[in-house]
Structure 1
Amino acid sequence: MVSFDHREPGTDPAVWTPFLDTRSAAPVDLGGIGSVVVLAPHPDDETLGAGGLIATAADAGLPTHVVLLTRGERSHPDSPTTTASELATVRDDEFTRALATLHPGVTASSVGISDGGTREHRDEVTDALRRALDDAARPTLVVAPWRGDGHRDHRIAGEVAEAVTAEAAGVSLLTYPIWAWHWDDPSASAQPWDRARVLPLADAVRERKRAALDAYASQVRPLSGAAGDEAIIDDRHAAHHLRSTEWFFVPEPTASRSRESFDAHYERKPEGWDFERSWYERRKRAVTLAALPRERYRSALELGCATGVLTAALAERADAVLGTDISAAPLARAAVRAPGARFVQASLPAEWPAGRWDLVVMSEVGYYLSPDDLDETIDRVLGSLDDDGVLVACHWRHPDDEAVSSGDAVDARLAERWPRPALVRHVEPDFVLSVLPGPGVVSVARAEGLVR
């Protein structure tokens, strides 16, 4: 955690100028974006870090919404003239006026977490962002503080934004620095400049940003001449944010769960999960098999077959079954459990097996894949599935510390990418199951000739 004092002069804004002039960064591209959601830990963070982007997006007609987490009432903890309650009311009004200055069409919601308390209320931050995304037109650009900014509330907001956007379909993320300009050193910068994006600001937008910042009188001017009432954002600090450009970072790409982590899991637990004794597992397996629209298949592919318990059941419904897993250890057990099936160790989607299939099963696998790997896996399935084939995807809906997304996020992405509606979609508190058909699949009754 970075330690800094906002009362110290900090890095001279002029020192950043030659550094930024030499940075090569892709521009922020709002083309194709359906809406923008900005996460602000305190009133004024949205203007300092993303005021130009807010104004630019709103000018372009994009619905733009700011989620304010705290009221910023602890900005002057040593003030002898103003209480925290009084400051909260002042900053509420300043926030409203600042947004109207950036663009009158910008909307906002306030969560009301205590200033400095986001760590203790992380779930409320998560819920607030998810609610905003529920109402946002896709594709949605989320803009949130950079998690390395050095302020605890900024870190929590950044971490939550990364987690929520990683599991949401049709959502991208940009993060903005606030205090890093103050404490960081351009000669040995800690900021991820290899992932930087830059937004040039039109003169009129820059002037509206300047006016919006000026609306925060409690922050840019002293509350009084008394000690403890000094300006939080003096001219020197404001200069960092009133440049002709705004700078953002894209999050580091999420990696799929590693082979090493699965190997370690099977070393601790050779059977992996309690597939055979757990009623939950046995019932889920029965639901999965019951959802198959055909009694028999020519060629089935199971992605992430683990120790082969489901594979053995699939072998009773298919002429040929291939099971794959990233780890070698469970495949040895799977070969014993399902001797009629074939098994290959493979890291998907890169090591995709050759062949065509009329049944592909993805059970409890998708949320271990990065967004890019999940998309490529979907493409691979579509490219190797026969017209009369189906993909059956079943995923746990509760948190998993080893997962990189969630079962709901995987199911949503499958629905978004699959070219046809689901034939079956079963949702309950513990898992979600979807059967996604090829172009030649018809309903069971139609296949049986019961309806025309």
Structure 2
Amino acid sequence: MVVFSHLDAGTAESVWDADGRLHEVPELDVAIRRLVVVAAHPDDETLGAAGLMARVAAAGARVTVVVATDGEGSHPHSTTHTRARLSAARRDEVVRAVRHVAPAAELHFLLLPDSGLHEQRDDFRRDLSRVLDHERTDSAGGNGLLVVAPWSGDGHRDHRVAAEVVAELCAERGIRHLGYPIWLWHWARPGEVPWRHAEALTLTDEERSAKGEAMAEHRTQIDPLSESPGDEPILHERMRMHFERAREVFVQESASSASVPTQYFDGFYDRHEDPWGFESRWYEKRKREILMASLPFQRLGRVLEVGCATGHVTAELRLRADTVTAIDAAPAAVGKARRRVVGDDVRFIVARVPDEWPQGTFDTVVLSEIGYYFSPEDLDRLIDRIESCGAGLLVACHWRHPVSDYPQTGDAVHRALRRMAGWDTTVSHEERDFVLEVFERSPARSVAQREGLA
């Protein structure tokens, strides 16, 4: 739990500006038809996503803003403003602020108690479900719909609860969800930001101006309510500078912050002979053939396969490898794989990565249909393992549709992989159902270049 006070000076914006990672975050794809901005309190939507709202609205897409509480608890020690007075004032501020960036936006005020989202979680979930179901119906089942909400790691309880509920609802409906940090910029240092899972929107001058006008509407937060103690501004000038910058940052969120436990896979293999249809589905056979055809070297050297399952890909890799080390966390899967692929050049290991990792170095790493089982933190550690094992070639392939049981989506996994420093993407194959990419150490050459054809 992060402990901070809004009265603290906080981390200066100059510290963030001097850190190159803020400027290197990949650009957010805003090719969306509908945007839902969820705010725990009035002004969250403006600070975190006003520029995004302006961009989407200007493109003719629909913007919906959902404000969970009225933020009536912002000045608990005020002797001049009652909670009811603050509640009414802050609702009016949201209306005026949103008009500056998205004049046609639809606003929903859920009127839940400030600092009480945890206790009112069920009501919040019910009310937000109605909004999302309406938006999902109007956007062809969620395609082209993006939901942004306060980031789960922001350090404020209402922000965390809002993020958790939004993540759960979006996962159930197959809707993409991103978190926008607010207080992170105040209490954190650059090394505490999950940069690998971040995307940013670079604002135009017009969008920055509109956002500034929207921020200025939140008078109860940026100005003192009076000269009396307890009426100090919540958003002092040093804090506001974080939201005057040219980039809005968003972080990939998920329904679960933990990696999928090993028992999950044991149960699948106990209940099903071929749980994912590796043997029976044309989809799986075709995907394996595409994966093997995408590998840019005829000989793969020492291969590490992370997540071998029952050994179907292992058998194909063996034909082009000197040795194959195949890992899986499920003993039942490894047992089937050992029976399928027999030979001194293949080694099977029951191991839970990234905590457990085989000894030795490898030339090629295969990461197929496993990355989305890891929490963002564990995925970062797995990527560090891959980067330090000596490999010069990484092939990754993942299912793209959201699954409520998984902490991440396949697309999120590949966004993290693309941020690896010192690697080039030499093959990129994307379908509605899966994404496959090959990464090679920089500077990488194409197959034709290596063979003198280009």
Q: TM (normalized to structure 1)?
A: 0.59
- Alpha-carbon offset, residue 258 of structure 1: 4.6
8 A contact 1:97–1:212 mirrored in 2: yes
Counterpart pick for 2:177 among 151, 173, 177: 173
- Alpha-carbon offset, residue 127 of structure 1: 2.5
1:135 aligns to what?
Answer: 134
- Alpha-carbon offset, residue 210 of structure 1: 0.6
SS in 2 for 1:120: coil
1:202 aligns to what?
Answer: 204
Question: What one-letter code is carried by the residue in structure 1 that aligns with 2:28?
Answer: V
1:49 aligns to what?
Answer: 48
- Alpha-carbon offset, residue 122 of structure 1: 1.6
1:73 aligns to what?
Answer: 72
Counterpart pick for 1:159 among 157, 164, 167: 164
1:272-320: CA deviations, max 9, x gaps?
Answer: 79x9xxxxxxxxxxxxxxxxxxxxxxxxx85379xxxxxxxxxxxxxxx
Is 2:152 the partner of 1:147? yes
2:302 aligns to what?
Answer: none
Percent identity, please. Answer: 38
Counterpart pick for 1:303 among 266, 275, 289: 275
Q: Mapping of 1:157-306 within 5 angstroms?
A: 157-169=162-174, 171-186=175-190, 189-251=191-253, 257-263=260-266, 303=275
After superposition, the Cα gap between the structure-2 partners of 1:61 and 1:5, relative to the gap in structure 1 and judged at 3 Å, is same
Question: What one-letter code is carried by the residue in structure 2 that aligns with 1:219?
Answer: Q
- Alpha-carbon offset, residue 200 of structure 1: 0.9
1:9 aligns to what?
Answer: 9
Alpha-carbon distance in 2 for matches of 1:98, 1:28: 23
**Greater Cα radius of gyration, structure 1 or 2:** 1
8 A contact 1:67–1:128 mirrored in 2: no
Alpha-carbon distance in 2 for matches of 1:166, 1:192: 21
SS in 2 for 1:58: helix
SS in 2 for 1:249: strand
After superposition, the Cα gap between the structure-2 partners of 1:260 and 1:102, relative to the gap in structure 1 and judged at 3 Å, is same
- Alpha-carbon offset, residue 13 of structure 1: 1.3
After superposition, the Cα gap between the structure-2 partners of 1:8 and 1:259, relative to the gap in structure 1 and judged at 3 Å, is closer
1:335-354: CA deviations, max 9, x gaps?
Answer: xxxxxxxxxxxx9xxxxxxx
After superposition, the Cα gap between the structure-2 partners of 1:252 and 1:111, relative to the gap in structure 1 and judged at 3 Å, is closer
Unaligned runs of 5+ in 1: 276-300, 306-323, 333-346, 348-368, 379-394, 406-416, 419-452
Q: TM (normalized to structure 2)?
A: 0.59
- Alpha-carbon offset, residue 154 of structure 1: 0.5
Alpha-carbon distance in 2 for matches of 1:80, 1:166: 43
CA RMSD, 1 decimal: 3.9
SS in 1 for 2:71: coil
- Alpha-carbon offset, residue 143 of structure 1: 0.6
- Alpha-carbon offset, residue 174 of structure 1: 1.6
Alpha-carbon distance in 2 for matches of 1:231, 1:109: 26
- Alpha-carbon offset, residue 111 of structure 1: 0.9
Alpha-carbon distance in 1 for matches of 2:401, 2:247: 38
- Alpha-carbon offset, residue 8 of structure 1: 1.0
1:380-416: CA deviations, max 9, x gaps?
Answer: xxxxxxxxxxxxxxx9xxxx9xx449xxxxxxxxxxx
1:344 aligns to what?
Answer: none
Q: Mapping of 1:57-96 within 5 angstroms?
A: 57-96=56-95
After superposition, the Cα gap between the structure-2 partners of 1:373 and 1:125, relative to the gap in structure 1 and judged at 3 Å, is farther
Alpha-carbon distance in 2 for matches of 1:196, 1:158: 15
Equivalent residue pairs, number: 304
2:28 aligns to what?
Answer: 28
After superposition, the Cα gap between the structure-2 partners of 1:101 and 1:167, relative to the gap in structure 1 and judged at 3 Å, is same
1:290 aligns to what?
Answer: none
Question: What one-letter code is carried by the residue in structure 1 that aligns with 2:186?
Answer: H
Question: What one-letter code is carried by the residue in structure 2 that aligns with 1:9?
Answer: A
SS in 1 for 2:192: coil
1:150-196: CA deviations, max 9, x gaps?
Answer: 00001111112222222222x2122111001010012xx22211111
Alpha-carbon distance in 2 for matches of 1:80, 1:105: 37
After superposition, the Cα gap between the structure-2 partners of 1:20 and 1:102, relative to the gap in structure 1 and judged at 3 Å, is farther
After superposition, the Cα gap between the structure-2 partners of 1:250 and 1:77, relative to the gap in structure 1 and judged at 3 Å, is same
After superposition, the Cα gap between the structure-2 partners of 1:130 and 1:374, relative to the gap in structure 1 and judged at 3 Å, is farther
8 A contact 2:185–2:242 mirrored in 1: yes
8 A contact 1:26–1:196 mirrored in 2: yes
Question: What one-letter code is carried by the residue in structure 1 that aligns with 2:59?
Answer: A
8 A contact 1:256–1:373 mirrored in 2: no
1:287 aligns to what?
Answer: none
After superposition, the Cα gap between the structure-2 partners of 1:377 and 1:206, relative to the gap in structure 1 and judged at 3 Å, is closer
1:114 aligns to what?
Answer: 113
Alpha-carbon distance in 2 for matches of 1:375, 1:256: 17
8 A contact 2:220–2:233 mirrored in 1: yes
SS in 2 for 1:82: coil
1:433 aligns to what?
Answer: none
1:181-233: CA deviations, max 9, x gaps?
Answer: 010012xx222111111111111111111111111111110000111001111
8 A contact 2:171–2:254 mirrored in 1: no
Alpha-carbon distance in 1 for matches of 2:115, 2:401: 42
- Alpha-carbon offset, residue 132 of structure 1: 2.0
SS in 2 for 1:73: coil
